[in-house]
Every structure is written in structure tokens, then in C-alpha cells.
Amino acid sequence: MIVAGLALLGAFFWFSSEDPGGAGETFIRRLKSTFSRKGTESSFRSKDEQGPVKSAQRADEAFTSGPRASDRRPTPTFQSVRVVGILRNELRQPVAGAKVRLRLPGTVEVTSQVSSGDDGHFELQDVQPDTYDILIQHPEYASLIRPAYTITGMQSVVRMDFVLPMAARIQGKVLDEEGVPIAGAAVAARRQRLEQLPSGGNVFLDDSTYQTAETNTSGSFVLRGIGLGRNVLEVRRRGYEFATQPLDVTSTAGLTNLTVTLKRTGTIRGVVLSELDSPVCSATVRLLSYKPLGEASQALPQDKWSTTTTARGEFAFHRLYTEGFYDLLVEHPDYAPAVYPLVAVGTERQLCRLERGGSISGRAEFIDRPTTPASVLIVAQTVTKGTTVTRATKSDGSGVFVFDRLPYGKYELTVDSEHYACEPLKDIPCNRDAPTRDVVVEVFERCRVRGRVLNAESDSPIADAKVSLESVYGFSRERKRRRTVMTNARGEFEFQTVPAGLHLAEAEARGFVRMAGGQSVQRFSLLPAERKEDLVLRLGHGGTVEGFVLDFMGRPVEGADVQLYHAATTGIRINVSNLKTKTDASGYFKIWGIEVGEQLQLYASAQKAGLAKAHSDLIQLSPEKPFATTQVVLPLGGSVTGKVLDPKNLPIAGAEVRFRSKEFPKDPSGSEIKVYTAADGSYLVEHCTPGRAEIEASKSGYVSEGRGLTITDGKRLENINIRLTPGLRISGRVITLEGKPIAGARVRAEPHKYVRGRDETLTNKNGDFTLTNLGSGLFDVRTNFTLKTPDGEQGYEFFVRDVKAGTQGLEIECDVNNSAVGSVEDEDKKPVNNFRLTLRSRTDMRPAQDFVFNFDRSLTDARGFFRILNIPRGLYTLTVIADGYEVYSKEDLVIGPSRRTIIPKIRLRAAGGVVGQVYSAASNRPVNDASVALVNPALPEEDAKRNAIRAHTDYSGFFRINTAAAGSYVLEISHPNYVPTTLQNVVVSRNRATDLGKIYLEAGGVVQGVVFDDQRYGINWAEVRVSGVSPKKETHTDSSGNYVLLGVRPGRWPLVVETSMNGRKIYAYRTIEVRPGETTREDFYLETSANVVGSIAALDAVVRSGNVHFHPFNEFSTVIEDIRYDASVSQQGFRIRSIPPGSYFLWVKGTTTVAPFTFWQTLFLERGDNPVRIELPAGAVAGRGFDRSGSPVSGAHLQLYPIIDSFGIPRSVYNSLVRSTVTQAEGHYLFPYLQAGRYQLLYYDPAGAGSGQWVAMPPFWLGANQVLGGVTFAIGQ
């Protein structure tokens, strides 16, 4: 007892003296830390994380002689310390390249590390006083740890030397119970007990740096750096029992040829029953595949994992993987096979039920040789319970095939053959109640198409190009199918399964464009089993735009976003979404791969934070000049400031303020700046693009408000205050007629005219919605949603009109649980396989239907049948289009009133058509995207246009129309860049296509220019047109005032501009000469610089009142009715300011102190003030009216018409010039203040024509200031 006590006391003082930082740890804990070990298994981690984590645990659990790092009290600040020492091996030789680390105990945080030098010395500098684990590691030696060593600031240098023991290597194999190597097993080693080095010093062998090895495909592994002594080998692999094996490493030679066996102990048991729940004996149960947890499935050998059910239908599998899932296949000659996927290991009673199964039978025949049977191997495939089930059979000499005992479901039938293939046959039902018969498998001999896609400029291959092959095939070429593949790195592509027929191959690739002249598109035909190996498609770089982006001081802007977009004037559209890039350090950018076509107009916009967005000048590309350089200068921009207030002028904080520039129409990149108001409601928007813009403020609970702005570069718009009013709500539900909620429907409120606010939201799972921030008034509430049907997704729109803001509980009922079916056949009552079905809900009804539903779907292999699921009941327009048949159309198809509508049988009549190619007469190149219309001249003009059959040319200029009835037609061809042409008497015959050959289009001229205002700024959206040409040639200017008119017919034409400026409507025109293939430039400088200062006087009276009107003339010398500038007469004078100079028709209507008057004249206004003096003429017409008996007639109505034939005048203006009066007592009448000219007098005869009529007297001339008296008329004669 005494000896034991002294030993314990001595051990206590020894531990305390070795670790000055451990004074707070009890003696019992020290003993436990030294002589005990927690657990017998180490937890597996990845190689990268196992070492530091394990070491941290050891330091925390076994070695730490003080509190945890997270519990330590703050250490007083001392000077930093250097830790130095020498590393030697057991032969006292220095160890170079060993890593020395300081780590905080209980953590993985390494605070300092260094490697030993060639002499074994190491030095850690600037070590802060604290408690550390000191780790020593070298790949050829056993790793060491000196745990929980406290470094104080009392000494500047701490010295410690270490002796590294030699390490060993362990290698071996991991096998299963059958001796098969196991790959991917994790193999690790650890010390059996913690061992302090014989030299003491509280230095231990550290197994935290032991590496975890993974077995290779042969099951082999190698562990390095294992300390001598007693270790434990641990092996783990998913699906096997965990294995441990003690190792006694006695020398540095280590252990070799070590073998570890892992065992599988998993089981699956089950029973197989029939449809009648009776056991099925002698059924074969196979394991198809094994799926480990979190890994992909692994196929199993078919002959290894199988068993047979007992008389009670039971089966069992043993020695399976210990975790994961198996796929089971159950087969019996009298039943359809059944698959049970993902059966968990350990399942004690898996119920497997076998069904008798169904059958599918039919006939295989060649698609291009009807009624010719095909003897081929046919494969039926379906997916049941997540597992693919495949069955195969061969059709006999008559083409007949039968599949028996198939699991119920829907199957895809294919042909498994190197030389044959078939049309896709999907969703073939295999039903429980009735066999599926008369399935036709349409077989064709495989053709193969191979080729390359090359750069047209360099003939280098283009990788990742998309190649499309459109095939027209079948016995009567009634089938059409499109296939696509991508080229490989060598530009090669291959279509391995193609039917015989006519084919169109075309290529496209990013950064490239299709070439004219058939280089990117090729047509060819293939015979059965033919191979085409030499197809070459070329793509060009297309148009290129390059340039620089500079700031307002001329410095390059790096990283600016550059986007190309259409000019508003161009009529040709291309996809510009990918035509974007960023500038480099010099501000340079380059964008290529632009489809130029015949001519293209673009802008380049650029934006960068801290500068205002801007765009380039107009960029024009053409085949003759497909490249352009430009420059974009980013200004500093203007700014807008103001406040957002409520109706009581109180600030609204957090309101969203959006600034949108209108200078970038058709630009897909953003032109919006968003800011939020401060606590005082103020906002500031900086770097705004100069020009037209709008600003809008919004806040939840308020109606959004906005206003238009004009931004000036470098200027600030202040006090742009926006007042928001509280908004109202509309809430409700979107449901079916049966009351089922429709979740995820988009609901929006569209305001009526003059009503503010709009909102949009989605319904929740209960179909509820709430629309907020609405102004007072009426709204149309619309909902849009899609439904998934077995035939694809379908979109719907339902709406409720005239909903008052503030409405609650609104229900939008959607009638969607209906269906329609029908069939399409030809004149021989044979089903039509391929057709396009279009159904459009009628929108021209009064009252209008409360929904919009448009159905457009192409059906292939339909066998004449179609169905439309989830269709709202109502009135529709139905169209059916099929190649080789006339277009079928029904304007008033009624769906309903029952839930299921059977559409009357649709019979298509055989049609003919036309084919041809359109070429440019000037360049002899194919014209892409020309519009071709086949018009029936026997129909009225409007009906002929509406019923015209239309097509467009492709890149080779080719077009095809094959749905026209037999007859004589007019073919109209148009393109924006060419003069339209017409072919008369085009004869179409049934069942054949009339080849029109090459049709040449004459090049039109190009008219372009800029429309400026009086400040020399471009005017946006001015209408520009060439007058008198057919078809119309008109466009609008873009934001910079540019316009371009393409394909203008050569000749002399008036060019007209209509727009508004300075609050005035303006009409201007010029006569231009257009030449074929040439560009005519015509700029317009519009101004409102003319002023009119006028007076009106009469010789015998004073002008009391009147209205003066100025109308400009158009290009045909006709007074323009809807453009006029008005003034009122005051004190016999009038004034009109700021109207365009030019020729005008002036007319005045008013009264003097004596009588009313009307006056007109033409005049030309110059810039500046134009004095206009109007002196009412003294001319007059007077006379008397008599009745049939010769007695004077009073109260008779007369009208005096001026005859104006020197220019055109609209009826409304002319009617204002007509004078009216009635006879007075004794039948007298007088028309005073008449100017010289030709007139005609009319009087009203109440007895004329039975019910009264106006009677015209012969025209007469009136001279200047002439008074013509005695002009009499007699009523009733």
C-alpha cells in the first residue's frame, strides 16, 4: 500500500514537471489520458480530412493537460518566441524535409509550420505564447506528437529536439468470400494503444497522420508511414461487414502479402403469387442489378443470382450485400414477367405478383412499298415500376408478328437490325381486357448520310455545328421528319438511320452564318440502303462589327457591355440575343457571325457603371460590305432628383423609382436604372442617358405613377416629385367549373381607359390570388396557366371583364374538363397519317367568349385519329393542313355542350402545288426569306388575300407549296429588298407539283436618310413613306431620326414625312429619283419657324369675329384635311406662331356687322413673320325666288357652291366654304363678300321628286368685286 501510494505521488509530480500548463488537470485524468483509449474503431473519413481531425480528437481526448482551447482564459500579452530544435533519426542522423507544426489543442487550426533543413534544424519564428500540440511528420518515419505544450513569454527561445522512429509499409489485398478482389475498399491503420516514446518527454507516436488507402481493381492496397509496434488494420466497403485485424509490425520491412476477407451477410426473402393470390411454384426469380446507397446501379451476372420458388411460392437470396437495393425479375412460362425494382436488403417478405399479361400483334411492311411484308426482328420495350422491360420477336414471311404475355402498359416498338429500321411507334397499349391487334410496323432500309461542316473562308472544320436533315419520304412522299446531330472536333457528322427519299441538309453554328448559293444547304435524294459519304456544308463568318467604346473625355472604357440590336427602320429580323461582348483594356470590341442577308441596319449600344448608356451611329451591312467599324461614346449623363409623396405630401420611404430610357428601342440589353427613396422620400438617379425617358415610382399599397422626361447631358432635373395614392385590391380564386383550385396560374389586372394601376401575381395551392396597388375604376382580370395532358402541355387564358377595384371573392371559373375527338381521311376514305391541326377560339363574337384557347399541333403516325383534351367549350375555327391535300377549314366549329365532343369526320381532297427557286437578277444569288403567295384570282380581292397559300424561300431560294386545289392561280413574290413580281396563269394539277424553275427578282432601290428637328436632333418615330408605289413602302425613324426604305421600285416618287414637333403636326415631302440597286439619300430638316400676323377688313363693315385655318398641301396638290393650324379673329386681327414654312390653303369663316362671310386663298409662308392682309371682296350675288304662279317665295333655302378645280380639297373643308341663306320677304336673297371665281347656285324645291330635292342652276363666273343681281329661280318649274 505504501509503495503504491508513493508510486502514484511520484507519477503526479513527474507529470506536473513535464507540463507546466497542466496544473489545472487532476491526477486521475492524467492517468486516464496516459493508460486508456476510448473505443476500438476509428471513424472513416476522407484522406484529406482524416489526419488533422483525428489528431485534434487525440489531443482533446487523450493528451490535453489543460482546459480546451475554447475554454482557456485570455493569455497575457508577452513578447513572441522562437521555437528551435533538431530532428534526428534513431541512428542520430539529421532528418531533412520533415514538417514541424504548431496546432491549438482540440482544434485543427495550425498556427505555424516549417520544414527542417538539410542539417535537421528547424525554427518557428514569432510564436505567440500559448498552449500547442507540436506535430512532427515525415513520409519515411513514424509521426510524433508532443501534446499540450505551453510556451510562455518568459523566454525568447524554446528549444526542443526530437528523435523520429523508422516507419514501415503494409501491403496486401482485400477479397470477398469467393476470393474475388474488392475494389474501392477503404483501408486504414491505427495504434492499438497510445505509446509514449522510450525517451519520454511526453512525446507520443501519432497515428493521426496515417493515410487511408483505397484498393485498386485487383483489390490491392499499400499503407506507408506505419509506426513499429502493435497496430490495428481496419477495412470497410459498402455492402460488406466491417473488418478489423491486429498487426504487429516488428521491423521497418513492414508486412507484405496481407489478405483481408470481407463478408456479405445480406438477405432478401419473398413469395410469388398469381392474380388470384395463389402461390406460384417453379417461378424463376433473378437479381438483375444492385444499387448501392448513393451510387449508380451495377448489373449482375444473369446465371449467378437466380433461384426457384418452392411449392408455397417462397424464395430466398443469401450472402447479399449488407446494404443497398436489388432489382428482381420474376418469370414463369404461364405468366407475364414482372420486375420489382429497388428491393431493400434485409426485406423478409417481398410480395411478387404475376399476371397473365396481354398481347400485341400486327404486320411489318415496307413504308415505301405498301403491302410488301418485311421479315425483321421487332423489339417491344416499356418502363414498368422504373425498370425497362424488353421483349423481342420476329415477323414471319408475311410480315405477321405476335407478342404474348407482355406486362400491361404502353410499349415502344422498334426494329433491331443492322440494315433495317422503322418509323417510331410509341404508346402502343397492352391492355388487360383485350389484345392489341393490327399494329403496322413501317419498315425501311437504312440509308446513311455522312459529311463535314467547314469554314467557307478557310475550309477549316467547324466543331459543335448543328446539322439538320429534313426528310420527305414514303410511297407518295407524304411523310416528313427532321433529324439533328452535332459535329465533332473534326467537323464531321453522321446520320446513321435515314429513309430513302428527298432530303434537305443544313448547318448552323454560333459565330457563323449560312451562306447563299446552296453552300450551307444541300438537297439530295437517296435510294433504299444508299450511302452518301461526301456531303459538305460551308458556313461563313457573316457580318462583322468592331469598334471602340470611349468615355466623354475620349478615354477607352474597359469591360463595357456592348450589344448589337436592330434599327427600328429595318424590316428584316435576326436573332440578336447572342450579338454581344465586352470591351478589352483598350475599349475595343468585335462581334461577328451576323446574318447580313440582303441588307441589315443595326446599332451598337454600350453601358458601364458610372457612365450613361449610349449607342453608336447607324451601322449598315450588306453582302458587298459585310463589315463595319463604329464608335460608342459614353457620356456622364444627366440626373433626376425629387421626392415621392403621399396625398398629404408626407414622404414615402423605400419606394422604388425606375428610370427607363426610350433611346434604345429593340435593344435586348437593359436600359433601366432602379433606386429607392430615402427616409425623407427623396431619390437621386444618376448617369441617365440623354434624350427621351420616363420615370415611375411604386410602393406596395400605392398605385404606381410615372411621367415622361427629357434628359440633357450634364444637367440635373430637380423637383421631379411623384405623388402616390393608396391602392385598392381585387382578390379571388381561380378554379375549374367543378370547384377544383388551379395553382400556379398567373393572374393580372388590366385597367380600363383612364384608370391607373396594374398588377400581376400567381395563385397559391388553393387557387387564391390578391391583386394590389390598383386605382379606382374598372379592370379586366385575366388568368393564364398551362395544363399537362398526355399529349403535351396546353396554354389557357380565362378572364372576367369590368371588375371594380376593391372587389373581393372574385371567382374565375375555367371550363377545362372537356375533350374532343375526330378523324381525318382522304377521298378514298383512307386515314391520313401526318397532318397539322390548328384550333383557334373565336374572338370576334358578341358577346365575347370568356377564354382564349389556341391549339396547334403536328400529328405523325396518327392513323387519321386526333384528340384534344382539356378543351374549353365554345366556338372555334378549325384548320387541317396535310402535305398533298387541300387545306381544310371550318369557321364555326362548336365544342360542347356535352363534355365530350365528336367532331364530324374531316375528308381531305387531293391537292397539287408549285415549286421553284427565287434568285436575284442583279447578283444571281438565291434570295432567302422571300414571301411567296399563291392567290386564286377568281375570288374577291379580300377573300383572295385571306385564303392565299403562303410559303417562304429557304437559304437556297427554294420554295414549295403543295396544298393547293387544282386550278389557275396568280403567284406573288415579294421581299423587302426587291421589287415585287407576279406570275399570271400558274396552273396547278392534282397530285403533282408544277416546277416553275428559277424566278428572278429585280433589285429595288434603297432610300435612306435622317429626319432632323429645328435643333438638328433626330426625330424619333416619324413616319416616312414613298408615295404612289405598290406595295406600300413605309417605315418609321429610329431614336436618332434614321430611316431606311428597301426594295423601292425604280422611278420618280414623292418621299413623304409625317410627324409631330413642338406641338405641331408636320407634313413634308420631296420628289426623289430611285435607281435599281442604288442608294438615294434624302435628309429632312423640319422646322416650325414661320409666324403669321394677319388682319381682316371689309369696306362697308367691321369684322366682328371669325376663325382662320391654314392647311398644308400634300404631294398631289391636295389640301390635307387632318393637319391645320388655327387662329381666332380678334379686333379684326389674328396671329399664328411656329408653323412650318411652305404652301398653304387658307380659309376664313366669320361675320361682320352686316353679314357672315367666307374667304379662301393659297399662299406661301416664309421663315419669320409673314404679314397676311385679307380684304373681304365686294362681290355679291343677289336675286329673287318665285313659285310656279310667279309669286315671290320667302323662306326658300339656297346654297352657293364655289367651283375649285385647280387643286384637290377634302369634302369636310369644301363644305365649310359653301354659303347658305334663305329668301326674305318678297323672295329676295343676297350672298355678299364673294371673291372672283366660278360658282353654282342650288335651291331646294319642297315638291321636287315627290318629297323634295335640291335643284342646281347653271354655273356662272363672278368677276372681282362684281355684283351680280337679278339671279332668279322658280320653284316647281
**What average pLDDT does range 895-917 have in this prediction?**
94
Distances (CA, A) of 170 to 189, 256, 260, 475: 9, 6, 12, 73
- Residue 432's identity, in one-letter code, is R
Q: Which residues contact 832 (CB under 8 A, 6 or more apart)?
A: 824, 825, 826, 862, 864, 882, 885, 908
Q: How many other C-beta atoms lie within 10 A of the C-beta of residue 339?
A: 20
Sign of CA dihedral 20, 24, 29, 31: positive
Q: Rounded CA gap, 931 and 951, in Å? A: 6
Confidence of residue 195 (pLDDT cuts 50, 70, 90): low
Distances (CA, A) of 1072 to 12, 1051, 1053, 1149: 114, 8, 6, 38
Is it true that 168-193+212-261 and 1179-1274 share their CATH fold?
Answer: yes
Give per-residue pLDDT as tens, 456-491. 989 999 999 999 999 988 877 778 889 999 999 999
CA distance 998 to 957: 9
| Degrees to nearest 5, angle at CA 889 with 885 and 893 | 140
Of 724, 777, 784, whose CA–CA distance to 760 is shortest?
784
1132-1162 pLDDT, tens digit per residue, is 999 999 999 999 999 999 999 999 999 999 9
Per-residue b/e over 681-712, b at no fewer than 16 CB within 10 Å? Answer: bebebbbbbbbbbebebbbeebbbbbeebebe
Residue in this structure with the C-alpha cell 377573300, named with its chain if needed: 943
Question: CA-CA-CA-CA torsion for 27, 28, 29, 32, nearest 10 degrees?
Answer: 130
CA-CA distance, 418 to 414, in Å (whole number)? 12
CB 944 within 8 A of CB 969: no
The beta strand positions in 682-727, using DSSP E, are 682-688, 691-698, 705-711, 716-717, 722-723
Every domain of the chain and the residues it spans: 2-71+79-167, 168-193+212-261, 266-353, 358-444, 446-540, 543-633, 638-723, 728-814, 819-907, 912-1001, 1005-1085, 1090-1175, 1179-1274
Q: What is 912-1001's CATH number?
A: 2.60.40.10
For domain 1179-1274, the CATH superfamily is Immunoglobulins (2.60.40.10)
pLDDT category of residue 80 using cuts at 50, 70 and 90: confident
Rg of the chain over Cα atoms, rounded to whole angstroms, equals 47
What residue has cell string 382580370?
A: 781
Q: What share of the chain is helix, strand, coil (3-state, %, to 5)?
A: 5, 55, 40
Q: Does residue 452 register a pLDDT over 90?
A: yes
Give ∠ CA 470-473-476 in degrees, rounded to 5.
Answer: 140
pLDDT given at position 954: 83
In terms of DSSP bridges, do strands 1168-1175 and 1090-1097 run parallel, antiparallel, or are they unpaired?
A: parallel
Q: Judge: domain 1090-1175, CATH 2.60.40.2190.
A: yes
Could you tell me the CA-to-CA distances from 314 to 288, 352, 655, 872 in Å, in that order?
A: 18, 10, 72, 53
Distances (CA, A) of 933 to 58, 277, 564, 950, 1259: 86, 68, 33, 4, 51
Q: String of b and e for 1004-1020 (b: at least 16 CB within 10 Å)?
A: bbbbbbbbbbeeeebbb
| Long-range contacts, 464-467 (Cβ 8 Å, 24+) | 464/509, 464/510, 465/491, 465/493, 465/507, 465/508, 465/509, 465/512, 465/537, 465/539, 466/507, 466/508, 466/509, 467/493, 467/505, 467/506, 467/507, 467/537
Cell of 778: 374598372
Per-residue pLDDT tens over the stretch 622-653: 888 899 999 999 999 999 999 999 999 999 99
Tens-digit pLDDT profile for residues 145-177: 888 888 887 888 999 898 888 888 889 999 999
pLDDT at 49: 37
Superfamily of domain 168-193+212-261: Carboxypeptidase-like, regulatory domain (2.60.40.1120)
For domain 638-723, the CATH superfamily is: Immunoglobulins (2.60.40.10)
Range of 143-152, 330-339, 921-930 with top mean pLDDT:
330-339
- Burial (CB < 10 A; 0-12, 13-18, 19+), residue 23, is exposed
The pLDDT value recorded for residue 40 is: 35
Q: Report the range out of 178-187, 199-208, 1162-1171 with the highest average pLDDT.
A: 1162-1171
pLDDT tens across 522-532, in order? Answer: 889 999 999 99
Give the per-residue pLDDT at 1251.
74
Q: What is the CATH number of domain 728-814?
A: 2.60.40.10
Picking from 556, 535, 672, 559, the residue whose alpha carbon sits closest to that of residue 612 is 672
The closest of 257, 191, 194 to 225, measured between CA atoms, is 191
**Where do runs of H (alpha helix) occur along 1093-1250?**
1211-1217
- Distance from C-alpha of 632 to C-alpha of 580, rounded to nearest angstrom: 14
Q: In what order do the strands lie in the sheet with 1051-1061?
A: 1033-1036, 1023-1026, 1051-1061, 1064-1074
Half-sphere exposure of 1220 (CA within 13 A, CB side): 7
pLDDT of residue 228: 81
How far out from the chain centre does Cα 1276 lie? 78
1065, 1123 in Cβ contact below 8 A?
Answer: yes
> Strand 1156-1165 relative to strand 1142-1152: parallel, antiparallel, unpaired?
antiparallel
> Band of the pLDDT at 324, cuts 50, 70, 90?
very high
Strands of the 993-1001 sheet, one edge to the other:
958-964, 912-920, 993-1001
Residue pair 822/866 in contact by the 8 Å Cβ criterion: yes
The predicted structure's pLDDT at residue 1139: 96
Q: What is the mean pLDDT of the chain?
A: 88
| Domain 819-907: assigned CATH number | 2.60.40.1120
Cell of 993: 407539283
With bands split at pLDDT 50, 70 and 90, how would you rate the model's confidence at 6?
A: very low
* Residue from 601, 605, 565, 558 nearest 582 by CA: 558
Question: Looking at the DSSP assignment, which residues form a beta bridge with residue 1023?
Answer: 1036, 1058
pLDDT value at 908 more than 70: yes
CATH of 266-353, one of 1.20.210.10, 3.60.70.12, 1.10.10.10, 2.60.40.1120: 2.60.40.1120
Q: pTM higher than 0.75 for the full model?
A: no
Report the SS3 class of residue 271: strand
- Which option is the CATH number for 446-540: 3.40.50.300, 1.10.3720.10, 2.60.40.1120, 2.130.10.10? 2.60.40.1120
Give the residue from 1228, 1229, 1204, 1225 showing the smallest Cα distance to 1216.
Answer: 1204
Tell me the three state secondary structure of residue 125: strand
Output the pLDDT for position 58.
42
Residue with cell 458610372: 610
| pLDDT band (50, 70, 90) for residue 33 | very low
Relative to beta strand 746-751, strand 672-676 is unpaired
For residue 229, give the H/E element and its range. strand 229-236
Report the run of H or E that residue 12 belongs to, with start and end.
Answer: helix 2-18
Angle, CA of 8, 9 and 14, to the nearest 5°: 95
pLDDT of 426 over the 80 cut: yes
Distance of alpha carbon 615 from alpha carbon 618, whole angstroms:
9
For residues 864 and 832, is the Cβ–Cβ distance under 8 A? yes
Q: Residue 184 CB: number of other CB atoms within 10 A?
A: 14
d(CA 89, CA 94): 6
Report the DSSP beta bridge partners of residue 824: 906
Task: Give the CATH number of domain 1005-1085.
Answer: 2.60.40.1120
- At residue 78 the predicted structure's pLDDT band, cuts being 50, 70 and 90, is low
User: Any idea which architecture 358-444 has in CATH?
Assistant: Sandwich (2.60)
**What is the dihedral angle through the alpha carbons of 639, 645, 650, 656, rounded to the nearest 10 degrees?**
-80
Q: What percent of the chain is modeled with pLDDT above 90?
A: 67
Please write the tens of the pLDDT for every residue from 804-822.
Answer: 999 999 999 999 999 999 9
Taking the C-alpha atoms of residue 31 and residue 37, their distance in angstroms, rounded to an integer, is: 11
What digits encode the pLDDT tens for the residues 303-315? 789 999 999 999 9
Greatest extent of the chain over all pairs of C-alpha atoms, in Å: 169
Q: Quick one: which H or E segment has residue 855?
A: strand 854-859
pLDDT, residue 199, reads 62
Q: What is the CATH number of domain 2-71+79-167?
A: 2.60.40.1120
pLDDT of 45 reads 37
Nearest to 1106 by CA among 1125, 1145, 1132: 1132
pLDDT band at 5 (very low <50, low <70, confident <90, very high): very low
Q: Which helix (H) or strand (E) segment is 53 a member of? A: helix 47-58
* pLDDT reading at 443 higher than 90: yes
In 3D space, the residue among 1150, 1130, 1123, 1152 whose CA is nearest the CA of residue 1213 turns out to be: 1123
- Contact between 1076 and 1057 under an 8 Å Cβ cutoff? The reply is no
Tell me the CA distances in angstroms from 668 to 192, 446, 461, 577, one per residue in order: 69, 45, 32, 7
- Could you tell me which of 1079, 1069, 1108 has the C-alpha nearest to residue 1005? 1079
CATH code, 543-633: 2.60.40.1120
